[in-house]
Amino acid sequence: MFDCPESEAETLSDALLEAGVLSVSVEDADLGTEAERPLFGEPGLEPETRAWARNRVVALLPDGEDPAQLLADACAASGLPEPAQWALRDVPDADWVRLTQSQFEPIAVDGRIWIVPTWHEVPDEPGTVSIRLDPGLAFGTGSHPTTHLCLAWLARQLRPGSRVLDYGCGSGILAIAARKLGAGPTVGVDIDPQAVQSTRDNARANGVEIQAELPDALPGWRADAVLANILSNPLKVLAPMLCDRVLPGGDLVLSGVLERQADEVAAVYAPWLPLTVWQARDGWVCLHGRRPAGGS
Ligand SMILES: C[S@@+](CC[C@H](N)C(=O)[O-])C[C@H]1O[C@@H](n2cnc3c(N)ncnc32)[C@H](O)[C@@H]1O
């Protein structure tokens, strides 16, 4: 562990990984002091600056490696001076799998849905549906407020037998919830092939039928409920296509939108349908609009 200036943090981190350390984390060396300078970025996007004025670089070394040699190798490779001071501490062995798993407890949504990691018992509560889901490579474990908002909408508003489109399906959590709550044919779409595969795997593990595809696979597929939990900018770009996917009389549900972005997103969708804030949670909103019945 050592401190370094902003200009060196990323280069030294990369060089340490090249030199053979197991992991590197960079923290604000001024954390908790008056000099602390928080870095903000829109969730899901990198902040513009990726290091602080003074950075604490913490590297995890494999057993038996010489820390002085690793640091010297990393500095030589990156052409940077060796830090004047560094510290070493033992990391006691632990059951890391159990420790990681203990951070993921079952999540309840609206008294209707449980998201349950596979290492937990499914809660025995009549009238609820349970989704088996482990944290994986695709976004969507139910812990994020935007996922929670969309799940709550499904729990309260989904009409039985509805065709559902989960656009930006990630882990498939919304599509799986929809099916378990009584949806009819359900499709998940994602730009990320890993998310498409996750949705297929998670649907199978939950015993529900969902067709998961990349965006261009089902161009004309329309639904009674279209949900898209992405971010405000892509949602604005996707407006014509998403609105076209909603059947007459159907619902459009958007999240991934911050409270302060709601009006701007609603204005972009206004030519197709009126969007209003359905619910808010931790600074995020869920927008809802219904397409007039009787159109084409
Ligand atoms: C915030 S995650 C939402 C995952 C899940 N639906 C949920 O509610 O937790 C957004 C997902 O949208 C996908 N995505 C982003 N832009 C997209 C686009 N233009 N078309 C389709 N999917 C997109 C991302 O790959 C990611 O899986």
Q: How far is the CA of 10 from the centre of ligand 1 (A)?
A: 28
Tell which one of 191, 218, 257 to mutate to probe ligand 1, the residue whose CB is within 8 A of the most ligand atoms: 191
From atom 4 of ligand 1, which residue's Cα is the shortest distance away?
170
**For the residues 134-154, what does the mean pLDDT come to?**
89
Look at residue 14 in the predicted model and tell me its pLDDT. 93
Token pair recorded at residue 200:
């297929």
Look at residue 162 in the predicted model and tell me its pLDDT. 98
| Banded model confidence at residue 42, pLDDT cuts 50, 70, 90 | low
To the nearest whole percent, how much of the chain has pLDDT over 70? Answer: 96
**Is this prediction's ipTM beyond 0.95?**
yes
168 is in an annotated binding site: yes
**For the residues 214-230, what does the mean pLDDT come to?**
95
pLDDT at 38 exceeding the cut of 90 = no
The closest-lying atom of ligand 1 relative to the alpha carbon of residue 190 is 22
Q: How far is the CA of 193 from the centre of ligand 1 (A)?
A: 11
pLDDT at 86 exceeding the cut of 70 = yes
Range of 27-41, 85-99, 124-138, 247-261 with top mean pLDDT: 247-261
Q: How far is the CA of 190 from the centre of ligand 1 (A)?
A: 6
Judge whether 145 and 282 are in contact, CB under 8 Å: yes
From atom 27 of ligand 1, which residue's Cα is the shortest distance away?
170
pLDDT digits (tens, 9 = 90+) for 178-195: 999 999 999 999 999 999
| Residues in contact with ligand 1 (CB, 6 Å cut-off) | 138-140, 147, 150, 166, 168-170, 173-174, 189-192, 195, 215, 229-230, 234, 238, 256
Range of lowest pLDDT (40-44, 54-58, 249-253)? 40-44
**For the residues 73-95, what does the mean pLDDT come to?**
91
Look at residue 46 in the predicted model and tell me its pLDDT. 60
**For the residues 63-79, what does the mean pLDDT come to?**
92
Look at residue 134 in the predicted model and tell me its pLDDT. 84
pTM here is 0.78
pLDDT at 80 exceeding the cut of 70 = yes
The closest-lying atom of ligand 1 relative to the alpha carbon of residue 192 is 25
Look at residue 296 in the predicted model and tell me its pLDDT. 62
pLDDT at 246 exceeding the cut of 90 = yes
Look at residue 144 in the predicted model and tell me its pLDDT. 93
147 is in an annotated binding site: yes
| Banded model confidence at residue 47, pLDDT cuts 50, 70, 90 | low
**For the residues 10-34, what does the mean pLDDT come to?**
92
Domains of the chain: 2-78 (no CATH), 138-290 (3.40.50.150)
Look at residue 45 in the predicted model and tell me its pLDDT. 58
Q: How far is the CA of 172 from the centre of ligand 1 (A)?
A: 10
| Banded model confidence at residue 76, pLDDT cuts 50, 70, 90 | very high
The closest-lying atom of ligand 1 relative to the alpha carbon of residue 169 is 6
Look at residue 44 in the predicted model and tell me its pLDDT. 52
Q: What is the mean pLDDT of the chain?
A: 91
**For the residues 98-109, what does the mean pLDDT come to?**
83
Please tell me which residue, 174 or 123, carries the higher pLDDT value.
Answer: 174
Look at residue 125 in the predicted model and tell me its pLDDT. 87
Look at residue 91 in the predicted model and tell me its pLDDT. 87
Tell me the C-alpha distance between 138 and 145, whole Å. 16
From atom 12 of ligand 1, which residue's Cα is the shortest distance away?
168
Q: How far is the CA of 33 from the centre of ligand 1 (A)?
A: 37
Q: How far is the CA of 150 from the centre of ligand 1 (A)?
A: 13
**For the residues 283-290, what does the mean pLDDT come to?**
97
